[in-house]
Amino acid sequence: MTEFLDIIQNAVETGKLKTAVEYVNKALEQKVDPQIIISDALIKGMEAIGQRFQNGNAFVPDLLISARAMKASLEILKPLLNENNNITIGKVVIGTVKGDLHDIGKNLVASMFEGCGFEVINLGIDVSSEQFISAIKEHNADILCLSALLTTTMNYMAEIIKTLEEVGLRDKVKVMVGGAPLNNNFANQINADAYASNANAAVEKAKELLSA
């Protein structure tokens, strides 16, 4: 069993989709618990590539192919999980803010979240404050992730946070922000809970926020 898990973890880390899928199916044939495959192979593989990326030893394409291998494996396992078998660390609503049509970085962050055990509700691009609020309420989200690549759209994040306060949701959800023109100072100015400069850092920050 351990050998299969090691192979799956390595396949996810190195982005070998076919190998990951093959050995997920082999592990299932050997009656390995789907939850164990997720926690001890898929998540560990994504965490490993994420750490390599943060250390400068891997690049965006590496993260993308790892996320693809993880997602393909997860699609096999999800139908086999019991309703009581909760694999979710937390629920994340993520989107690129209104007026901004960039989604590569945001999708990468979403993939990392999903690969590391979060449930992700990806709202896409050009998302209004009303859409974010609606999704937070519908899914009872723990974290809201806002993305922007333009200096002209990043200020809309402040409006979203203000709306959260107005509707009484600000204390119920952690707000994380990211994107090329942002930094910690900006996050503090708009009263966000955290800023993350890359996908792996976003996952680590999210875990910190939920455990605080």
What pLDDT is stored for residue 84 in this prediction? 47
Cα radius of gyration (the chain): 18
Q: Which residue has the higher pLDDT, 200 or 123?
A: 123
Same structural domain for residues 113 and 160? yes
Residues paired with 93 in a beta bridge:
121, 144
> Has residue 85 been placed in a domain?
no
Same structural domain for residues 179 and 100? yes
CB atoms within 10 A of CB 85: 11
- The mean of the pLDDT values for the chain is 91
Same structural domain for residues 51 and 75? yes
Listed residues 80, 109, 138: the one ending a domain: 80
* Cα three-residue angle 1-36-23, rounded to 5 degrees: 50
Listed residues 13, 48, 80: the one ending a domain: 80
DSSP single-letter state for residue 30:
T
Same structural domain for residues 127 and 192? yes
- Domain residue limits at 152: 91-211
pLDDT digits over 84-134, tens only? 455 678 999 999 999 999 888 898 899 889 888 899 999 999 999 999 999
pLDDT bracket for residue 199 (50, 70, 90): confident
Same structural domain for residues 132 and 199? yes
Q: What are phi and psi of 178, to 5 degrees?
A: -160, 165
* Cα three-residue angle 100-104-105, rounded to 5 degrees: 90
> Has residue 75 been placed in a domain?
yes
Same structural domain for residues 24 and 65? yes
CB atoms within 10 A of CB 89: 19
Spatial distance between the Cα atoms of 24 and 175, rounded to a whole number of angstroms: 35
Same structural domain for residues 174 and 154? yes
> Has residue 47 been placed in a domain?
yes
> Has residue 139 been placed in a domain?
yes
Angle subtended by helix axes 2-14 and 43-54, to nearest 10: 40
CATH number of the structural domain spanning residue 61 = 1.10.1240.10
Same structural domain for residues 108 and 148? yes
> Has residue 124 been placed in a domain?
yes
> Has residue 129 been placed in a domain?
yes
- For residue 102, what are the contacts with CB-CB under 8 A and spacing of at least 6? 96, 125, 147, 148, 149, 150, 179
pTM of the shown model = 0.80
Angle subtended by helix axes 129-139 and 156-166, to nearest 10: 50
Same structural domain for residues 63 and 113? no
Q: What are phi and psi of 199, to 5 degrees?
A: -65, -45
